[in-house]
Amino acid sequence: MLDKFLRKKKAARNDLVKYREIFDRNQILLAEYIETGKMEDSSVPLPEGRYPWEHLYGYLTIPECNWETAAEVTFIQSARVDYPLLMRSLAYGYIQTALDYYRLHHFFARFGREMKCAIAAHSIFRLCFAELAGLDKEARQLYQVFSTGYKRDWFIRSKSHIGDVLLLIYSRYLENLDLEKRGLERPELGGTLDPRVDDFAYPDVLAHWDSTDNECVTAVLQRLCDEQVAQAASPASKFFTEFKTGNWCYIPYPALFVLKLRQNLGLANPSFSHPGFGELTALMPTGPMNMVVDEFLEGALTRLRSQDFDEQAFFALRR
């Protein structure tokens, strides 16, 4: 399985080129929205009380994926994580999450039911990016959306439980974190999450991710990396996982996420290397970072805010 993964990893150096047509087409459509404030199907009247940006379903996700793919290509070529590219990806993903949350929050009032299977499984990697960047507020906001969505079945379910374990770990991390020491208020996030899937695959990871025993921690990192390799290398037709989209496959985000959360808690991290990814501790960020809002996203935000979009107000929605 490792050999197949390494072959796919080598071939993935061309993924950014393959994605270019999709990305370019999307940017044309997004530019039309920025210029006119309307979507491509603007001939169809909007229902009363709806905003044009409620139909921006994938317009920000495509540049998000494009810049994440660019970071993966850099990693494949140079064995380094290009965090500025990931921060550019995160900026799009963060705003897309606010858009999704508004839509899903209001869906119940409009239709009397939850919208099932409305958030992509890989969206949880946005939380990994925010934590790796040291963006405390943004990470809490993303977790608020994802934990709410987890309990209300908003996610497109994958056959992997990687997204589940990352959210479950983060809910326990928040319980253990000394927020006062970091100058943060404890958010009201609804308590610790429990698995919502049958035969949850990673009880060992959940039990030992914050262990003080280096052997246990090494086993957790090995398991996460081995699972990512196996899932990314398996045929796409075998089962759907977070690592089947053409993105997210070749940088060990789940393992880096665990290392960063442990670092935040003041826990010692072991040196760990994996044949699929290299030395993980060398891939960790060296300090805090900010999201990178490029010119295109800045233009989109200007247009969005002219139509009453407010990401801070949206992230604060509760029901």
* Geometric angle at alpha carbon 22, from 18 and 27, rounded to 5°: 130
248: left (phi over 0), alpha (psi -120 to 50) or beta: left
pLDDT by residue (tens digit) across 72-121? 999 999 999 999 999 999 999 999 999 999 999 999 989 999 999 899 98
A 10 A CB-CB count for 139 gives 20
User: How high is the mean pLDDT of the chain?
Assistant: 91
Rounded to two decimals, the pTM is: 0.94
Give me the number of domains the chain comprises. Answer: 1
What confidence tier does 305 reach under pLDDT thresholds 50, 70, 90?
Answer: very high
Residue 217 has pLDDT above 60, yes or no: yes
Cβ atoms of 158 and 234 within 8 Å: the answer is: no
* Geometric angle at alpha carbon 204, from 198 and 210, rounded to 5°: 125
Nearest-angstrom CA–CA distance, 88 and 118: 23
Range of the structural domain that residue 8 is part of: 2-315
pLDDT by residue (tens digit) across 245-304? 678 999 999 999 999 999 999 999 999 999 999 999 999 999 999 999 999 999 999 999
What pLDDT, on a 0 to 100 scale, did the predictor assign at position 115? Answer: 93
What pLDDT, on a 0 to 100 scale, did the predictor assign at position 183? Answer: 53
Residue 232 has pLDDT above 70, yes or no: yes
- Structure tokens, 297: 């996203």
What confidence tier does 188 reach under pLDDT thresholds 50, 70, 90?
Answer: low
Residue 39 has pLDDT above 80, yes or no: no
Supply the DSSP symbol for 259: H
Cα distances (Å, whole numbers) of residue 247 to 242, 269, 306: 8, 27, 32
What pLDDT, on a 0 to 100 scale, did the predictor assign at position 62? Answer: 95
Cβ atoms of 233 and 5 within 8 Å: the answer is: yes
* Strands, E assignment, 154-311: 273-274, 278-279
